[in-house]
Amino acid sequence: MRRFLPLLFLAASPAFATTFFLTVAGLGGEPDYETRFALLATDTDKILRGSGGGDRVVETLKGADATKVKLTAALGKIASQAKPADVLVLTMIGHGTFDGVEYKFNLPGPDISATELAAALNKILAGRQLVVDMTSASGGAATALKREGRTIITATKSGTEKNATIFGRYWVEALRDPAADTDKNEIVTALEAFKYAQTKTAAFFTEQKRIATEHAQLEDTAHAGAFALVRYGNAALVVNDPAKKALVAKKEDIENRIDALKYQKDLMDPADYRKQIAALLLELARTQEQIEK
């Protein structure tokens, strides 16, 4: 039976509108973070390209390409193409800092501040914009980025939550997991992905018996429900295939073990930590390769 799109989404998405997706994986600082950020960006890129649903332009910057110059250029390119009826989705993966006044997204070379990012975004005519900032201290960016027509999701509630975040990996997981599609219309919206990732993040800290060091925030809940991120079809095949489903579950287990290990880092012998984290990252990369086959 065909499922119909919610009236809200139909009203907010004029015919022939283009959705521009830009995903940026910033500086890791350590090899383990570099690997994970790159994997999350690669995963996001593949899911978005494999998802159906209208005209979409997908670009991903990671590693040495994720510089301030190239990020600014990518946003400038979108600004030259986007029309008022179009949609922009900017996803930021990595580390961020906040000095009490200004938030900065950590990139190879010079960082980009929330003020600079807002200035670049303000030049884009796309009438609906979604910024998903999944970095540490990302809550510190919200004030500078706030603007009419722009929905903002941050992994932390303020710039003072400075620990590396886990919200990002659950956000990416939401793009592929049919369980995130709570209204069962075969579309995962920004609101559904946020609630999924927020719930999973809270559960992680509960299971680890740790005080939560991050609290995701969403500005403009009403409009978040109108952002269609993925339409199921190719994206859902991975978790509907029994063999792939087992691999996805294995991947989540590995990522949970990596994050749990990071909380033990200060109590461990450095050499032992490096050995364990390297083994887990290798296992993660191999599992991801199997998922993508």
DSSP secondary structure code for residue 63 in this structure: G
Distance between CA atoms of 68 and 108, rounded to whole angstroms? 8
Same domain, 229 and 84: yes
Query: Mean pLDDT, to the nearest integer, of 231-241?
Result: 56
Phi/psi of residue 19, nearest 5 degrees: -105, 125
- pLDDT value at residue 272: 84
Reported as a pLDDT band with limits 50, 70 and 90, residue 9 is very low
- pLDDT value at residue 247: 78
Distance between CA atoms of 143 and 150, rounded to whole angstroms? 12
Number of domains in the chain: 2
Least confident of 8-17, 164-173, 276-285: 8-17
- pLDDT value at residue 282: 84
278 domain-assigned: yes
Domain with 43 in it: what CATH number?
3.40.50.1460
Residue 172, pLDDT > 90, answer yes
Over residues 118-150, the pLDDT tens digits come to 999 999 999 999 999 999 999 999 999 999 999
Q: Is the pTM of this model over 0.85?
A: no
Query: Count of H helices and E strands in the chain?
Result: 11, 11
Share of the chain above pLDDT 70, in %: 88
19 domain-assigned: yes
Query: Mean pLDDT, to the nearest integer, of 184-209?
Result: 93
Distance between CA atoms of 51 and 21, rounded to whole angstroms? 12
Share of the chain above pLDDT 90, in %: 58
Same domain, 181 and 151: yes
Query: Mean pLDDT, to the nearest integer, of 169-189?
Result: 90
Average pLDDT, the chain: 86
6 domain-assigned: no
Q: Which domain does 94 fall in, by range?
A: 13-236
Q: Which of 43-52, 199-208, 268-277 has the highest mean pLDDT?
A: 199-208
8 domain-assigned: no
Q: Which of 7-16, 191-200, 229-238 has the highest mean pLDDT?
A: 191-200
Same domain, 293 and 200: no
Least confident of 12-16, 179-183, 197-201: 12-16
Contacts of 180 (CB under 8 A, 6+ apart): 173, 174, 188, 192, 193, 196
Residue 269, pLDDT > 80, answer yes
Same domain, 260 and 230: no
- pLDDT value at residue 130: 96
Adjacent-strand bridge partners of 89: 21, 130
What's the distance, CA 80 to chain centroid? 24
Distance between CA atoms of 278 and 228, rounded to whole angstroms? 36
Phi/psi of residue 68, nearest 5 degrees: -60, -40
Nearest to 93 by CA among 60, 117, 120, 68: 60
What angle do helix axes 68-81 and 114-122 make, rounded to 10 degrees? 20
Distance between CA atoms of 21 and 57, rounded to whole angstroms? 6
Adjacent-strand bridge partners of 23: 60, 91
213 domain-assigned: yes
Adjacent-strand bridge partners of 92: 24, 133
